[in-house]
């Protein structure tokens, strides 16, 4: 009997050399390979290098740009090169006209302020909801099944595992956002110099800390001493597992 050996259709992993084509703010942009979890940052000219297979997805994250995903195409893979343009986040305030009848009562005066365009929370740095609400995950008892009715669609989503996968996806998205924020304050070069974490493993290391410690909460609460303490304690454990790979 003839047996055909398994072949990796994606080919070998290669080093992709990339560049951001934006004119400004091209340094220290986070570049993350969602497949291998390798990551890097751009230099002052927007250049970067990262290992990837064909069809891997790269995620570009920065404070001044919208997050962008780019798939390594066959052309990118063959030429070992990719160019990416990021869309900047514009924080220009809309023109505001203040009338002459200011009373000194802040609540009433705000009602009389006119703007040319709808108010945007991001423009003034105030957290607020935008866009469509997330799909709610109802409780089985009372939400899906009650004494008087059954929500057939919601019941199907529970039985098919849809809600379970949705919860998992939201958890991953939340963790990825948390890691990106932490790495903005603690650059991969710092993690390598202080704790011996390879720069291309910085994202994975911080994600490991987020999943196994209170790192995310400590960072949000600005307990930076505890953040460094967590890095100090978890680095040997992470590096020990890295050697076994």
pLDDT in tens, the chain (245 residues): 444 443 445 578 999 999 999 988 898 888 888 877 788 889 999 999 999 999 998 988 777 788 888 999 999 999 999 999 998 877 555 555 555 565 656 566 556 655 555 555 555 555 555 556 666 666 766 666 666 666 777 666 656 766 566 666 666 677 778 888 888 878 888 888 888 999 888 888 998 898 899 998 998 898 888 988 999 999 999 998 876 65
Q: What is the pLDDT of residue 3?
A: 42
Domain boundaries, the chain: 14-84, 90-131, 163-244
pLDDT per residue over 25-36, tens digit each? 898 888 888 877
Q: What is the pLDDT of residue 62?
A: 78
pLDDT per residue over 92-132, tens digit each? 555 555 555 656 565 665 566 555 555 555 555 555 555 56
Structure tokens at 35: 């497949």
Q: What is the pLDDT of residue 4?
A: 43
Q: What is the pLDDT of residue 95?
A: 56
The class level of CATH for 14-84 reads mainly beta
With a CB cutoff of 8 Å and minimum separation 6, the contacts of 128 are 121
Q: What is the pLDDT of residue 123?
A: 57
Under a CB-based contact definition with an 8 Å cutoff, are residues 58 and 35 in contact?
no
Q: What is the pLDDT of residue 179?
A: 87
| CA pair distance 102, 121, nearest whole angstrom | 23
Q: What is the 3-state secondary structure (H, E, C) of the chain?
A: CCCCCCCCCCCCCEEEEEEECCCCCCCCCEEEECCCCCEEECCCCCEEEEEECCCCEEEEEECCEEEEEEECCHHHHHHCEEEECCCECCCCCCCEECCCCCCCCHHHHHHCCEECCCCCHHHHCCCCCCCCCCCCCCCHHHHHECCCCECHHHHHHHHHCHHHHHHHHHHHHHHHHHHHHHHHHCCHHHHHHHHCCCHHHHHHHHHHHHHHCCHHHHHHCCCHHHHHHHHHHHHHHHHHHHHHC
Nearest alpha carbon to residue 91 among 59, 63, 130, 129: 63
49 burial level (CB within 10 Å; 0-12, 13-18, 19+): middle
Q: What is the pLDDT of residue 8?
A: 43
Q: What is the pLDDT of residue 199?
A: 85
């Amino acid at each position: 009997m003839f047996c055909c050996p398994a072949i990796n259709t994606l080919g070998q992993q290669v080093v992709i050399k990339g560049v951001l084509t934006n004119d400004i703010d091209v340094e220290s942009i986070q570049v993350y390979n969602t497949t291998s979890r390798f990551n890097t940052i751009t230099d002052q000219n927007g250049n970067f290098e990262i290992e990837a297979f064909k069809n891997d997805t790269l995620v570009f994250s920065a404070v001044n740009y919208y997050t962008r995903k780019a798939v390594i195409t066959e052309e990118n893979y063959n030429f070992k090169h990719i160019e990416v343009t990021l869309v900047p986040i514009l924080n220009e305030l809309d023109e505001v006209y203040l009338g002459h009848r200011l009373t000194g009562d802040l609540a009433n005066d705000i009602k009389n302020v006119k703007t040319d365009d709808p108010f945007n929370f991001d423009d003034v740095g105030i957290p607020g909801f935008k866009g469509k609400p997330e799909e709610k995950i109802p409780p089985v008892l009372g939400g899906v099944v009650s004494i008087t009715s059954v929500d057939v669609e919601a019941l199907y989503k529970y039985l098919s595992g849809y809600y379970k996968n949705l919860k998992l996806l939201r958890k991953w998205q939340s963790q990825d956002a948390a890691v990106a924020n932490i790495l903005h304050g603690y650059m991969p070069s710092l993690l390598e110099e202080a704790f011996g974490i390879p720069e291309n493993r910085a994202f994975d290391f911080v994600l490991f800390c987020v999943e196994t410690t209170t790192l995310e909460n400590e960072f949000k609460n600005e307990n930076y001493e505890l953040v460094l303490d967590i890095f100090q304690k978890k680095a040997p454990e992470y590096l020990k597992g890295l050697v076994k790979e």
